[in-house]
Amino acid sequence: MITSDLTAQRIREYLSKGKRFDNRNSEELRELVIETGVSKNAEGSARVKLGKTEVLVGIKLDVSAPYADSRDKGNLMVTAEFLTMSSPRLDLGPQPFESLELARVIDRGIRESHFIELDKLCIKEGEKVWTVMIDIYTVNDDGNLLDAAGIGAVAALMNARVPKYNEETGKTLFGEWTDNKVPLTKDLPISLTIHKIGNSLIMDPTKEEEDISETRVTVCTSNGTICSMQKGNSKELTIEEFNKVLDLVEKTEKEIVKKIEGSLK
Amino acid sequence: MSEFKRPDGRKVNELRKITAKVGVVPNADGSAIFGFGDTIAIAAVYGPKKMHPQHSQNPEKGTLRCTYNMMSFSVTERIRPGPSRRSQEISKITEWALQPIVMIDEFAGQVVDVHINVLQANASTRCAGINAAAMALAHAGIPMKGLVSSVSIGKLDKQLVTDLIKAEEDWEEGEGPTDIPITMTEDGKITHIQLDGKITPAQLKEAVLLAKEAYPQIHEAQSKALKDVGEEK
Amino acid sequence: MTDRTIVIPGEVVFKGDNYLPGEGTEKRGDEVVAIRYGLVEESNKLVKVIPLSGVYQPRRGNVVIGKVENVTFNGWVIDLNTADGAFLSLMEVPRYVNKDDLKEVMDIGDTVVAKIYSINKRGIDLTLQSNGLGKLDKGIIIEINPNKVPRVIGKEGSMISLIKNETRCKITVGQNGFIWINGDKIEDELFAKKAILYIAENSMSSGLTDEMTGWFEKNRGIAQ
């Protein structure tokens, strides 16, 4: 059942005083737990828990032909699946729109930040390059799957290694890895979503809060530079609110980077 | 007589280390994770609830519906996300394996959904899935006659072994590999059995008995996980 | 097998011809076997398993809390989070309602406390003809596992009274696991929510009512 009107009213009242039901302030994230290397057959993997929200991300690599307009660069592909088990609101059948959006938003963040050094993933120009596939799965949805998925994708990439490839036979030796990690730049792309409820802007909503979110903006930054952005849902934002969104993102980005790097030790 | 050498050094009737836990998906009515060594499956149950689409409803009793899915990165060569013919077949097999023990006749027109996702695969994935599903169903409060336990028995050339790993599924010596996943109830009734390979009827009967030997250990792990929910705070 | 032991389906709870199989169990030969995951309770040779989980099974006389899903020409369709639909007829409201005024009385999205007066093939029939029932105006709604509702209410309402006194909130517990909390301050409502969730999570300990008195003292000071 979605958040009742009664509770929604109370959430708004409380927010107007700058408070939330779980005692967080509007910019605070829930407890963030990141584990890497959770799936051994993947090139890299991560499990991210943000409060009770949980996602699993796996990285797989394979060799394929490059795209015509990037003959000497590797490829990137991001998919997302909202597993039916992750929420009572999901039914068997086609994926909800949010799943498609999540994959594309995370993709743009990683792609535009040039986090993966795709030019180092070329085996033979015009013929063979590595394709990096990031697959995101939702395990439990208690709000803010987007940010959890973004963190998971980065953490999984950071512990990913390149599989062995036999140049003579042209076969990838799945299950055998080189010592080379997937080439990444040092600036982590961090996606953060700010939600507007009434006159308040909050981060990391629980499902209860997400149900009454009127509009949201996901911003991906990499060492302070914004590389992608998406506004979702239909309520308008004032310019003042928009500026505040950018301020909030700037403030929180560094904290998340630290958390991710901390989890990889 | 020398011991048969298994790739991971186990005895012929030895199971891999079992991991089992319930409550891993808070949103679900019941959930569990079950692992045979490196093979790990998560199961989540929702229901009984109204079944959609309406025309699939059984007006006389409840329906059990299972879906089995492998995560793309659970195996070394990536699986394209989405249902495959193999996953559809295993979904149905799982449903048949669990049907005899669930008591859902009273939930006419309703469905109990069991979702199984394999996080990491090293053979015996359908067995791990069934074991997790049985736990998740109990955890969800579905009335059941008891649990079921599932294990794969293999024949490597002429040797029967318990709990196959991938390296054994790909056995190349002699008669090659035979893979026999078997699921049984607590009172020894078979609810699921499949076979791929080459085996005599006599040896197949032996294989079934070997499976029966393994169940108490599996059931013990399933039971312990369900009971291990005492006061955590 | 002592009381409060957790059993799983298929487990033998008691053995002996004189034991009778109650709720959550069945007799096989001379054994009483659990068919639900829950806690054992035995009295006068009647063996029951009190379920720890499972969706809400509606019963006549239950007070439930739900949301108005639809307004029809003669009543309201209510979502109780059950498999069967629930309906509140305009005849079951303790005041005259004109057929044209249904939306004025309750509209889609409104939350209501009602009582189940009949369950039949069509679904669940609700009534508001009793004290304490009606549309809910302010407050918060929380959801717990319906199997924990008896614990939250307590023996003869002892636990729920304790919570009401300590938090100064009005509280109505729906048997379907939805609970309404209304206080003068949001902090009081959230305090009651915290207490109820704590009870639901620790429902298996004995002496919980005593423990809660101490819990309230300890947690009262903590900033809400």
Report if residue C130 sits inside a domain: yes
Contacts of B76 in chain A (CB under 8 A): 41, 174-175
Report if residue A65 sits inside a domain: yes
Phi first, then psi, for residue C142 (nearest 5°) are: -120, 160
Q: Which among B217, B219, B214, B212 is positioned nearest to B135, based on CA atoms?
A: B219
Question: What is the end-to-end Cα distance of chain A in Å, rounded?
Answer: 40
Alpha-helix residue ranges (DSSP H) falling in chain C: 102-105, 149-153, 158-167, 186-201, 208-220
Range of the domain at A230: 30-263
What pLDDT shows up at residue C102?
87
CA distance B41 to chain C (A): 21
DSSP code at position B6? P
In CATH, what number is assigned to the domain containing residue B123?
3.30.230.70
- Residues in Cβ contact with B16 at an 8 Å cutoff, skipping those fewer than 6 apart: B8, B10, B36, B37, B38, B39, B163, B165
- CA gap A204, A196 in Å, rounded: 11
pTM: 0.94
Judge if C121 and C152 occupy the same domain: no
- How far, CA to CA in Å, does C63 sit from each of A217, C89, C176? 42, 16, 8
pLDDT, tens only, B151-190? 999 999 999 999 999 999 999 999 999 999 999 999 999 9
pLDDT, tens only, C163-188? 999 999 999 999 999 999 999 999 99
Report if residue A215 sits inside a domain: yes
Report if residue B196 sits inside a domain: yes
Judge if C130 and C160 occupy the same domain: no
Report if residue A19 sits inside a domain: no
What pLDDT shows up at residue A2?
79
Neighbours of chain B (3+ CB pairs under 8 A): A, C
Q: Which among C129, C55, C132, C63 is positioned nearest to C92, based on CA atoms?
A: C129
In CATH, what number is assigned to the domain containing residue A60?
3.30.230.70
What pLDDT shows up at residue B219?
98
CA distance B134 to chain C (A): 10
Structural domain total, chain B: 1
* Cβ contact, residue pair B76, A41, below 8 Å: yes
pLDDT, tens only, C190-210? 999 999 999 998 887 778 888
* Cβ contact, residue pair C139, A6, below 8 Å: yes
pLDDT, tens only, B185-233? 999 999 999 999 999 999 999 999 999 999 999 999 999 999 997 543 3
Using pLDDT thresholds of 50, 70 and 90, give the confidence band for residue C220.
confident
Judge if C122 and C150 occupy the same domain: no
Range of the domain at C172: 140-220
pLDDT for residue C224 is more than 60: no
Nearest-Å Rg of the Cα atoms of chain C is 20
Using pLDDT thresholds of 50, 70 and 90, give the confidence band for residue B91.
very high
Residues forming a β-bridge with A77: A133
pLDDT for residue C223 is more than 70: no
C68 or C202: whose pLDDT is higher?
C68
The residues in B 106-145 lying below 8 A from A, measured between CB atoms, are 113, 115, 117, 119-121
ipTM value: 0.92
What pLDDT shows up at residue C61?
96
Size of the B and C interface in Cβ pairs below 8 Å: 71
What pLDDT shows up at residue B229?
79
Q: Is A13 within 8 Å of chain C by CB?
A: yes
Range of the domain at B118: 18-225
* Cβ contact, residue pair B71, A40, below 8 Å: no
Judge if C131 and C145 occupy the same domain: no
Q: Is C147 within 8 Å of chain B by CB?
A: yes
Contacts of C141 in chain A (CB under 8 A): 4, 6-7
- State CA B231 to chain mean position distance: 29
Complete edge-to-edge strand list for the sheet that includes strand B148-156: B159-162, B148-156, B177-185, B190-193
- Residues in Cβ contact with C131 at an 8 Å cutoff, skipping those fewer than 6 apart: none
Judge if C145 and C107 occupy the same domain: no
* Cβ contact, residue pair C140, A7, below 8 Å: yes
Q: Is C222 within 8 Å of chain A by CB?
A: no
* Cβ contact, residue pair B146, C9, below 8 Å: yes
Q: Is B92 within 8 Å of chain C by CB?
A: no
Q: Provide the token pair at A55.
A: 């996602």
Report if residue B51 sits inside a domain: yes
For an interface test with B, give the residue of C2, C11, C28, C53 to mutate (most B CBs within 10 A): C53
Q: Is B126 within 8 Å of chain C by CB?
A: no
Q: Is A185 within 8 Å of chain C by CB?
A: no
- Using CB atoms, which residue from A40, A58, A142 is nearest to B71? A58
CB atoms within 10 A of CB C51: 18
Mean pLDDT, range B67-95, rounded to an integer: 96
- CA gap B172, B157 in Å, rounded: 8
Size of the A and B interface in Cβ pairs below 8 Å: 82
* Cβ contact, residue pair C139, A10, below 8 Å: yes
Complete edge-to-edge strand list for the sheet that includes strand C20-21: C6-7, C38-43, C46-51, C20-21
Beta strands in chain C, from DSSP E residues, in sequence order? 6-7, 12-15, 20-21, 25-28, 31-34, 38-43, 46-51, 63-71, 75-79, 86-89, 111-120, 123-127, 134-136, 140-143, 170-173, 178-182
Q: Is B48 within 8 Å of chain C by CB?
A: yes
* Cβ contact, residue pair B29, C54, below 8 Å: yes
Structural domain total, chain A: 1
* Cβ contact, residue pair A62, B31, below 8 Å: no
Report if residue B230 sits inside a domain: no
What pLDDT shows up at residue B70?
98
Which of C76, C102, C136 delimits the end of a domain?
A: C136
pLDDT for residue C129 is more than 80: yes
Q: Which residues of chain A have pLDDT under 50?
A: none
* Cβ contact, residue pair B73, A58, below 8 Å: yes
* Cβ contact, residue pair B144, C35, below 8 Å: yes
Residues forming a β-bridge with B22: B32
pLDDT for residue C100 is more than 90: no
Contacts of C189 in chain A (CB under 8 A): 10
pLDDT for residue B1 is more than 60: no
Judge if C93 and C110 occupy the same domain: yes
What pLDDT shows up at residue B84?
95
User: In 3-state terms, what secondary structure has residue A94?
Assistant: coil
Size of the A and C interface in Cβ pairs below 8 Å: 34
Q: Provide the token pair at A227.
A: 């590389």
Report if residue C1 sits inside a domain: no
Q: Is A88 within 8 Å of chain C by CB?
A: no
Structural domain total, chain C: 3
- Using CB atoms, which residue from A1, A5, A14 is nearest to C186? A14
- Using CB atoms, which residue from C110, C180, C224 is nearest to A5? C110
Q: Provide the token pair at A255.
A: 């904290």
CA distance B135 to chain C (A): 9
* Cβ contact, residue pair A6, C141, below 8 Å: yes
Contacts of B75 in chain A (CB under 8 A): 41
Q: Average model confidence (pLDDT) for chain C?
A: 92
What pLDDT shows up at residue A213?
96
C42 or B230: whose pLDDT is higher?
C42
